[in-house]
Amino acid sequence: MAAPQETTPCTTCGGPGYVVEQVLGRPAQARRCDCQAACPRCRDTGFVLVPGPGGEKAQVCACRHLDARIVLFNKTGIPAAVAKASFEGFKVWSPDHSAAKRVAEDFARKFRSDAPSKGFLFYGRPGGGKTHLLAASLRWLTLEKGVACRYVEFMLLLSDIKAGFDSGRNQMEILKPLASVPVLAIDELGKERGTDWERSMLDELISRRFNNGLATLFATNYFLEARAAPEEPGARVATRSKDFQRDAEAMSLSQRVGDRIYSRLNEMCTFVKLDPGLDLRKDAHGAGGFWGK
Ligand SMILES: [Zn+2]
Ligand SMILES: [Zn+2]
């Protein structure tokens, strides 16, 4: 009897057959790993013959699923800063971090396109890894499960809505792609307050997704409760704009997005705190660039 074949995982991709590339200024892109350059199963025809009760039947080879998933990932719009974000690459250094990772990983692994699922909302100061976990979730969903996803930054979403409106497109046309994608991640929620009209469009978008049972994921730097404005030690002269900035940061999420949207978020998401848990001004090196936002 032949000895079981030793399969050493590919040193480039580690096994899954795809590689994610980081190109600054461009959304994350994946490609087939060189180990998958020529498919040994179908000889690159895209089909394999599988035996069945009525004789052999042609079936789409798994390598074509890989290509389709890579296309989904490449359309997601994951920002370059977190292009390589994954669950394995997420460093856990506090109970907040392990809880948030569990929620995101559970969501991604258990997600089913044919059943409504509750999304999640991460809140906390910048530097905790919120964007990393959003990106890791979308990576898993697209590349491992073949689920179409989109990532948008809140401010860009508002300006896209506005640009669409200015160019004469109607509400439906502007919102449709985002309203129908199976999983949508909205980052930096509340960063811009937006006009009443922009907020009503946002309300429309998330209500429509909610009514269609589609999951939406959020990250925001705002807390659920208004906070005391953080003191800035050693700052003798606070400029007006700095005061303004601190006041804005101290606002609660519902103050930023409005009660209507806030209560909708409550219905459709699990709220999870994900805060760096340390004073970022004192520890600028520890929690800085590597984690992205
Ligand atoms: Zn490989
Ligand atoms: Zn193949």
> How far away, in angstroms, is 16 Cα from ligand 1 center?
7
Other CB atoms within a 10 A radius of the CB of residue 155 amount to: 14
Instruction: Report residue 129: phi and psi, to 5°.
Output: 100, 20
pTM of the complete model: 0.83
Q: Considering the chain, what is the average pLDDT of its residues?
A: 85
Closest ligand to C-alpha of residue 17 is: 1
> How far away, in angstroms, is 45 Cα from ligand 1 center?
20
Closest ligand to C-alpha of residue 36 is: 1
Q: How confident is the model at residue 281 (pLDDT cuts 50, 70, 90)?
A: very low
Q: How confident is the model at residue 284 (pLDDT cuts 50, 70, 90)?
A: very low
Could you tell me if 32 and 20 are in contact, meaning their C-beta atoms sit under 8 angstroms apart? no
Query: Residue 226 contacts by C-beta under 8 Å, 6 or more apart in sequence?
Result: 250, 251, 252, 255
Closest ligand to C-alpha of residue 47 is: 2
> How far away, in angstroms, is 275 Cα from ligand 1 center?
35
Closest ligand to C-alpha of residue 12 is: 1
Q: Three-state SS for 69?
A: helix
pLDDT single digits (tens) 115-129:
888 999 999 999 999
> How far away, in angstroms, is 26 Cα from ligand 1 center?
23
Helices 259-268, 196-211: axis angle to 10 degrees equals 20
> How far away, in angstroms, is 144 Cα from ligand 1 center?
15
Q: How confident is the model at residue 170 (pLDDT cuts 50, 70, 90)?
A: confident
- The answer to whether residue 70 scores a pLDDT higher than 50 is yes
pLDDT single digits (tens) 100-112:
999 999 999 999 9
C-alpha count within 13 angstroms, C-beta hemisphere, residue 95: 0
Closest ligand to C-alpha of residue 30 is: 1
How far from chain centre, in Å, is Cα 131? 7
Closest ligand to C-alpha of residue 8 is: 1
Closest ligand to C-alpha of residue 43 is: 2
Query: Residue 112 contacts by C-beta under 8 Å, 6 or more apart in sequence?
Result: none
> How far away, in angstroms, is 13 Cα from ligand 1 center?
4
> How far away, in angstroms, is 68 Cα from ligand 2 center?
12
> How far away, in angstroms, is 27 Cα from ligand 1 center?
22
Closest ligand to C-alpha of residue 18 is: 1
pLDDT single digits (tens) 11-52:
999 988 999 999 888 999 999 999 888 887 888 888 899 998
pLDDT single digits (tens) 85-102:
999 999 998 999 999 999
Report pLDDT for 33.
92
For 10, 65, 71, 159, the CA distances from 44, given in Å and listed in that order, are 19, 13, 18, 43
Q: Return d(Cα 23, Cα 130) in angstroms, integer.
A: 21
